[in-house]
Amino acid sequence: MPYEPVIGPTSATDITLVPIALPYRLRWVNCYAARHTDGSWTLIDTGLNHSETSIQTWLQAFHALEIRHARDIRQVLLTHMHPDHFGMAGLLQQLSHTTVFISARDREAARIAWMEREGRSEVMKRWFVGCGADTPLATEIAAYADITAQATEPHPTRLRDLDIAAPITFGGRSWRIIETPGHSDGHVMFFSEADGVLLAGDHVLNRITPNIGLWPDGDASPLRRYLASLDSLLDLPVRLALTGHFEPIEDWRGRIYEIQAHHAHRLSWMADEAGSGATVYDVARKVFDMESLDIHQMRFALAETLAHLEFLAESGELVQEQRYGQRWFRPA
């Protein structure tokens, strides 16, 4: 069944779902508003500032919840820097005059990706040419990244680092901040020990597996860090995970096992497809139905393929070489 969310309460007391529409095949991002005991509010993630509808959805939520946005919003928390979560942080800050918090690592990544973009298109184009894409495709991907960056404007002027070591209070609960790298280098989740509620961001999702991609200026081993993080989270006593996309997760451990199995299969498949030598693009064409993908999805497919091939090279199953300015992978 299609996922058609509406503004409304979640199964967690004092936390409201605010779904923001996206211009992608992944049609919605789940943002949340958490009520404090004094009647003020914390917003978690913000959506993409791609159309007037986006901010109208937030204003509709404020009206329904009787939030006076210039007085009642205490803070905005971001699970990570990706545009569908970061994109309206600056606009909501302008409305509320509050501070936006994000991990230190993703604050720096957001600066590079969204705020200081001089020369960024050329970096992206070279990156995807290095993955085996032809120059026209790499140029198109880089141009699309520029369009995406525009949907993160205006940028927040008060962007502060989360104190990972200290608990944070909102929604009538004390939350532990858990670093969960992989989907982004500085991704975090918020966990309430008292009732087992987790604000999971995009680290673990229903229906789909989070994209784990290798990008310019990013961590060199995102998949290794992601899989290690999943291992460390298996025993987290999660009763309900409120996720960044699709429905909440109630079988936390079961869903992690499914995602681990997916990556084990994907690694084996990509190792086989490397054959006697292949570019990232060559392998991606075998694993993904590239002809059916739009540019947005194609760049994720290439970045995810690269992350898996790099993992295999680090593990000694493949060898990476440079040929004609491109990354090639072959069996060890």
Q: What is the pLDDT of residue 242?
A: 98
In a domain, 332, yes or no: no
Tokens of 326: 């491109």
In a domain, 53, yes or no: yes
**pLDDT exceeds cutoff 90 at 88:** yes
In a domain, 325, yes or no: no
Q: What is the pLDDT of residue 29?
A: 98
Q: What is the pLDDT of residue 284?
A: 98
In a domain, 3, yes or no: no
Q: What is the pLDDT of residue 36?
A: 97
In a domain, 281, yes or no: yes
**β-sheet bridge partners, residue 20:** 29
What is the mean predicted confidence (pLDDT) over 216-227?
96
Q: What is the pLDDT of residue 119?
A: 87
Domain count, the chain: 1
Considering the chain, what is the average pLDDT of its residues? 96
Nearest of 229, 106, 228, 242 to residue 164 by alpha carbon: 106
Range of the domain at 118: 8-320
110-138: burial string, b at 16+ Cβ within 10 Å, e else: bebbbeebeebbeebbebbbbbbbeeebb
Model-level pTM? 0.97
- The residue type found at 179 is E
**pLDDT exceeds cutoff 90 at 209:** yes
Q: What is the pLDDT of residue 70?
A: 78
In a domain, 308, yes or no: yes
Burial class of residue 180 in the structure, from the number of CB atoms within 10 Å of its CB (0-12 exposed, 13-18 middle, 19+ buried): buried
pLDDT (tens digit, 9 = 90+) per residue, 243-285? 999 999 999 999 999 999 999 999 999 999 999 899 999 999 9
**pLDDT exceeds cutoff 90 at 291:** no
228-253: burial string, b at 16+ Cβ within 10 Å, e else: ebbeebeebebebbbbbbeebbeebe
In a domain, 93, yes or no: yes
Give the domain CATH number at 245. Answer: 3.60.15.10
In a domain, 2, yes or no: no
